[in-house]
Structure 1
């Protein structure tokens, strides 16, 4: 059994007393099945999830010849459970995540059967002439929009695959979830399918998926004074949440004239995101890409922003570190992932430090809902950010 891992905050000039409870609190046992069949000789990994930190303990157990397991977990909490098979039947099957987090309560020793889903998403990739295509695919697990940004990061899964000689692909085994499938092939337009709602042990057969000739979009980035802005990262995605580097449909960097051409696109509706040094993000939604594109580039205009300083304290005034403050804009969009990336670009982390503080250099002016959570306790405030203004917010969270 793996040894538990503990996070300890040590502050300069202070003596930190640490009490470690090494007694394994709750014994959990049961049977492991995949697609309804027992899984012998597999390894189970349990990671306890906390809002204040990504995890605070890692424990493991193995299944016997009948697929049974037993493990001593450190205590109450939500656990991400992963099944690792030593001899998988497919290249995707070596590591499988249990769909929902496993909730362990205060009921003492417990019996929990773990039913891993053997869902499948399959199909064939062809061109407009019905010829099989050699391409590559990326499958993203979509998560509910009401989950916190930290929990999305903790649970998010993605899978990669190339088509075979007949253009066929098959992702399996997959947990119960909604998915988005991105399809790419050289010289052809990329395409996204989803959301694809996959049930327990369900197979979704997409049959023939057609990729048309690629299209492109010209973009011109402009600074708050209306001048061309070089060196800006620009990305096209299906929505703002999918605008990360790994999930974007197309991306690039503006040249000395402030322009970039985003290729590999198929007809559809997109969101354009721009990230520039020292500026808040800029984005344009509901962009229509078609075979007939205008001769002039699409304007992506940046505006001046304001800075944001957050300080999070516990109920007795102590700083609360390792909290990711969440920002939801006035249109209800969770923009936390975008600002986390911007903070990382300036060698910062959008995460409270040991003093309970977090900072953003440039935030778009507007109304926001600011949320902070620690160990299940949370506080939220509605704030207004103005251009050229430094905003400082102090929040109190009952940190247990």
Structure 2
């Protein structure tokens, strides 16, 4: 049983206003299980090379593949890097100065977000992030406001909306119900298991003689609180939420946790030194939309010694996944369930070579797209970006076996499919932009009567298992208007990125569907129970 030791009051565990996002998450998770299967396989040869000429065997060091590394032509200057820009608004439509905007990547391991750059919004609420070409998770926060986040690619315009926050107060106690005097509280978003790990929405270390804390930066959706302290395993709350203007309370109890030791080897039984090992706690293990929370940054990471041995201290009981990273194999995952710390046996992690995906990026008419950008998403690897060659061919190597998402992007249009990676195999999977129609969605994004400029929306529809998800990401103009032309008939979901605001719409051939979205929070519905 997962170690959730908490008591709560005045907290809405199931927020009705977030039903849309919950349904979207479940729909995507379910669709991923049903999407395209590999059409053909071939066995990897022992001496095969990766795309770009890299040999499969390399020094044991983790590679951040969220950054797209394309060599510059010989003798030329490094091209100017496309920047991520935007504005930070409140839900009344005012720009917010002094908000912190952080871009995270996966520099340490594929399941642990790390900061790539942090900036403050200027007096007009604008921010600009100069980053290496790649895919990043953005997070914006400001005291008194609920943080928000969004995924952004280099060159994107992504404005972020912060809503006024409620307050959570609480205490952190040890197993004897004595106050823990120094601890860190992280506010975490629980996400489907098949998407990259998000960074904490908020994190603060407290020095508190009586173990109490107060947080006024809670996002407008369900979250989990995690408490960590020296010599203790992390403790987690139940899923909870608090409305703006309200105060909730929670009590978190910490235990010593378990010690988990083991050894990392290759397939021939040779011990592997210098392998990075971490552990993730799991939520809802075995459910359709299994959820995960990132491993504790200070107590659940280690590296193997010269003999391949490792030891993780203060691991929480319950369902966990141990992951091992090096530069010579695919990330390898071992699922476990810890119930009795006195009976935990040493584990052996055998690093796997993994599998590969190769295919051709195509337009809707079947012609290849030269130099198309392809992004792979998975829990254990974060983001993996590659660029197709002049003939539209792409290849992604060193992938763990299992289902992953792969996205082909072309401007504001994209197609996302699911691919089942097979150990020791190369899965062939072409990806095509989906055929255009004659329908259209247009509308406006506002905060009350104020238009919001630079807001990125996600317009998506499921075109079936083989074609995949059709996705569009229009950005509002200075008057808050957006337009998505040339859509096929069908049902679409339109959401304002970095907010819980969205709605469904029906598109007819030759017709125009209007969708206006207001990010102003609606009054909380009264509990009729």
User: Could you tell me which of 202, 206, 218 is aligned with 1:158?
Assistant: 202
TM-score between both structures, scaled by the size of structure 2? 0.47
Change (3 A) 1:264 1:98: closer
After TM superposition, give the deviation of residue 297 of structure 1 in Å. Answer: 0.4
Deviations 1:296-323 (Å, cap 9, x if unpaired)? 4022233332233455344564336554
User: Could you tell me which of 171, 181, 185 is aligned with 2:229?
Assistant: 185
User: Could you tell me which of 43, 57, 61 is aligned with 2:97?
Assistant: 43
User: Could you tell me which of 343, 346, 356 is aligned with 1:297?
Assistant: 346
Aligned residues, how many? 305
After TM superposition, give the deviation of residue 391 of structure 1 in Å. Answer: 4.2
Q: How does 1:82-121 map to 2 (within 5 A)?
A: 93=143, 96=145, 116-121=163-168
Change (3 A) 1:310 1:283: same
User: Could you tell me which of 276, 295, 303 is aligned with 1:233?
Assistant: 276
Greater relative CO (CA pairs within 8 A, separation 6+): 2
Q: Is the 8 A contact 2:189 2:222 kept in 1?
A: yes
Deviations 1:160-216 (Å, cap 9, x if unpaired)? 222422221111132212222222222233322243333344433114x32233431
After TM superposition, give the deviation of residue 381 of structure 1 in Å. Answer: 4.5
After TM superposition, give the deviation of residue 141 of structure 1 in Å. Answer: 3.2
Is 1:284 aligned with 2:328? no
Tell me what 1:319 maps to: 370
Q: How does 1:142-291 map to 2 (within 5 A)?
A: 142=189, 144-145=191-192, 149=196, 157-207=201-251, 209-239=252-282, 242=292, 250-291=300-341
Residue aligned with 1:284, SS: strand
User: Could you tell me which of 86, 92, 97 is aligned with 1:31?
Assistant: 92
Tell me what 1:21 maps to: none
Q: Is the 8 A contact 1:43 1:83 kept in 2?
A: no
Deviations 1:314-365 (Å, cap 9, x if unpaired)? 4564336554233xxxxxxxxx242247xxxxxxxx2133757765331234
Q: Is the 8 A contact 1:237 1:248 kept in 2?
A: no
| Farther-moved stretch of structure 1 (197-206 vs 271-280) | 197-206
| Farther-moved stretch of structure 1 (361-370 vs 211-220) | 361-370
Gaps of 5+ in 2: 1-69, 75-88, 102-119, 127-137, 151-160, 283-289, 435-471, 475-529
Q: Is the 8 A contact 1:143 1:156 kept in 2?
A: no
Q: Is the 8 A contact 2:191 2:292 kept in 1?
A: no
Tell me what 1:127 maps to: 174
Change (3 A) 1:314 1:244: farther
Is 1:363 aligned with 2:399? yes
TM-score between both structures, scaled by the size of structure 1? 0.60
Gaps of 5+ in 1: 1-8, 14-27, 34-40, 48-57, 64-70, 72-79, 85-92, 102-113, 327-335, 342-349
Tell me what 2:381 maps to: 339
Change (3 A) 1:250 1:382: closer
Q: Is the 8 A contact 1:236 1:248 kept in 2?
A: no
Residue aligned with 1:220, SS: strand
Distance 1:83 1:227 in 2: 47
After TM superposition, give the deviation of residue 383 of structure 1 in Å. Answer: 4.2
Change (3 A) 1:309 1:201: farther
Change (3 A) 1:293 1:375: farther
Q: Is the 8 A contact 1:191 1:265 kept in 2?
A: no
Distance 2:295 2:402 in 1: 25
User: Could you tell me which of 408, 415, 420 is aligned with 1:379?
Assistant: 415
After TM superposition, give the deviation of residue 60 of structure 1 in Å. Answer: 6.6
Q: Is the 8 A contact 1:120 1:202 kept in 2?
A: yes
